[in-house]
Every structure is written in structure tokens, then in C-alpha cells.
Structure 1
């Protein structure tokens, strides 16, 4: 398999961490989707990463779709429960983490891709409200538990840690570590895993 992505995307990192935890072999193909020479639309008509290229020539996109597929390829380190409420809880954590990222990415694009004179502070504030509300919900949901769902690593924890890692990388002014020490504790614990050490954004 081949994974088209970048070294900074949190969505790509989520897929890479899952692949590492599942011990799956793949080749990483770097592509800057904002560059004129990008070829991403040959594989994903939406022009977004990550995009997984299968051995039979097929392509799969959207990180949530990709990680769900990857979890079925081997019983090693199952990350998504097969059914029921626990499965829904894991997927809800993933949706929350991705939602925070979606809002923060929009803020970054507003700040970096639009002329300052036409940037919308109301738009930025609306998105940052989502980020802050999402972080608060994450902290409340985690509480004093060692993991987001159950008593072992799941996709929920991977999603949360990738989200927090990207915020630390791109939005260092957001003081989530100080405000939510339980999230910092989870992030620090997962940062010791090889799958996270090997996929740090750069």
C-alpha cells in the first residue's frame, strides 16, 4: 500500500500511527496539495490528504474511512470495537478530535491564505470557539481515566493525541496543557509510543 500525505497533516498522522500500531507495511508519498505541481487529484478528486492507494490500483480517502479499513486488515492491536455502544463512543471521540482540527485548520487557512485586510475576525472567533469547546469536552470526557474509552489504547486516544499534537505544533498559544492537565497526561503517555515518536509533525 501507498499513503499520499504530508509530514504536518494531523489527519495523515492519525493514519500513520494506526499503520504503525497495526504493524502494516506501506510507502509514504509526500505531496503538498497547495503546490501547483500536486498530483493528488489523480487519486482523490477532492484534492485532499490522506489518500491510500491499494495494491490493486484502487484509492481510498478520508482519514476516518482509511483507519476503519486498516483496522480490519489484521487482528493485531484492534483499535475499533466491532459493534455496539463502545464502538460508537470510539467513533464519537474521533469525530470530536477531527472537528477540533477542522475548525483550527480553517483558522490557519484564514490567517495564512487570505490577505490580512480581508480576513474575518468573526469567522476566526467562531472557529476558535469550536476549538475551545471541543478541548473542554475532551477533558470532561476523559476525566481521571487512563484512556478515552475502556482500559486500553483505541482509535479514540490516537485521534485525541494527534489533535493535541497538531495544536501544539501550529497553535502554541493555546494553553491546553495548563488548562487541561488530564489531556496533557494522556498526550505525554502516548508520545512515548514508537508510533507517535516516528510521526512527529515537522
Structure 2
């Protein structure tokens, strides 16, 4: 298997962390989908990362689909419950974390995409996305409470997804001081970043201009 992705994408990072936690062998092929010379079909029909290329050329895309597939490949370190309320809880946490990321990526693109001039950028749109980020952070903090992990006492996909979301805020939105408002998320994040899977997939340090 080959995982097509970038070193800075939080969605790709989520898949890579699951891959490492599951001890699966998968080659990472770096691809910048925003590059002018990017191949339109290198990342599946949607031109998005992550994209898992299977033997025979079939593509599995969307991080939620890929991690579901990877978790089923091996019984090692199950991250998603098989059924019932526990499964729904983990998948809801993932949806919440991915929703935060969706808003963050939209805000960043609106503010930085070279395809738009400064006059074309919409501050109201950016503010709307930032509002979603803060709402998601509040929901994460409330849902976590004083539990050791998002879905209880065991590490799961819930924590992978939330950890990637918080890490992306540190990476791209350092002006958002989520730590001051949500100390329980800080405690969780500090625990997660000590795991080898999080260490090995940390995004590169931003280039200082």
C-alpha cells in the first residue's frame, strides 16, 4: 500500500498515526496537491490527500474511510469499537475534530491562497470559520471533562483525531490560545505528544519569513 499525502496535512497525519499505532507497513508518498505541476489524478478522483493506493491501483480516499479500513486490517491496538454506542461516540469525536480542521483549513485558505487578491478575501468568512473552531474546542473540553482520554479510560481514534486537530492549531494558528481556556485539553495533548506515533508524524517547523 502507498499513502499519498503531505507532511503538513492534519488529515494525513491522522492516518499516519493510526498506521503507526496499528504497526502497519505503508509507504508514504509526498504530494503537494496545491503545486502548479501537481498531477490531477495522483490523489484519486477528488485530487485530495490523504489517498491510499491499493495493490492493483484502486484508491481509498477520505481520512475517515482510510482509518476505518486500517483499523480493521489488524487486531493490534483496536482504535474503533466494533458496534453500538461506543463506536458512535468514537466516530462523533472524530467528526468533531475533523470539523474543527475543516473550518481551520477554510480560514487559512481564505487568508493565504495565492489564487485570490487581498481585495477578494472575506474577513467575515474567516471570522465565521474561527467561530466554529472556538465552538469545537469548547465542545471537546466539555466532552473530555476529567477523563484520561476522550472516550474514557482507553486511547482510541477519538484521541488521535483530537490530537491532530490541536496540533494543527499550534502549527498554523498560534494566535489561538486554546490552552488558556481549556486546561483539560492541554493535559490530554501533552500526554498524546509523548507517544511515538505523534512524535514521528509531527509537522515540520514553519519557515520563518
Normalised by the size of structure 2, how large is the TM-score? Answer: 0.95
Residue matched to 1:7: 7
Residue matched to 2:176: 174
Q: Distance in 1 between matches of 2:176 and 2:200?
A: 24
Residue matched to 1:84: 84
Q: Secondary structure at the match of 2:86?
A: helix
Does structure 2 retain, via aligned residues, the 8 Å contact 1:53–1:59?
yes
Per-residue CA shift, 1:123-168, capped at 9, x if unaligned?
1111111000000000000001000003111000000000000110
Does structure 2 retain, via aligned residues, the 8 Å contact 1:90–1:155?
yes
Q: Distance in 2 between matches of 1:59 and 1:23?
A: 21
Q: Distance in 1 between matches of 2:9 and 2:135?
A: 22
Structure 2 unpaired stretches of 5+: 205-209
Cα distance 1:74–1:178, how it changes in 2: closer, same or farther (>3 A)?
A: same
Cα distance 1:183–1:87, how it changes in 2: closer, same or farther (>3 A)?
A: same
Residue matched to 2:144: 142
Does structure 1 retain, via aligned residues, the 8 Å contact 2:43–2:49?
no
Q: Distance in 2 between matches of 1:140 and 1:162?
A: 18
Alpha-carbon offset, residue 56 of structure 1: 2.8
Report how many residues are paired: 202
Does structure 2 retain, via aligned residues, the 8 Å contact 1:40–1:48?
no
Does structure 2 retain, via aligned residues, the 8 Å contact 1:31–1:40?
no
Alpha-carbon offset, residue 40 of structure 1: 5.2
Q: Secondary structure at the match of 1:127?
A: helix
Per-residue CA shift, 1:18-77, capped at 9, x if unaligned?
000000011110000011221252441111000001123211000000000000000000
Does structure 1 retain, via aligned residues, the 8 Å contact 2:43–2:50?
no
Q: Distance in 2 between matches of 1:42 and 1:170?
A: 26
Structure 1 unpaired stretches of 5+: none
Does 1:156 find its partner at 2:170? no
Q: Distance in 1 between matches of 2:130 and 2:202?
A: 24
Residue matched to 1:65: 65
Does structure 2 retain, via aligned residues, the 8 Å contact 1:147–1:153?
yes
Cα distance 1:16–1:40, how it changes in 2: closer, same or farther (>3 A)?
A: farther
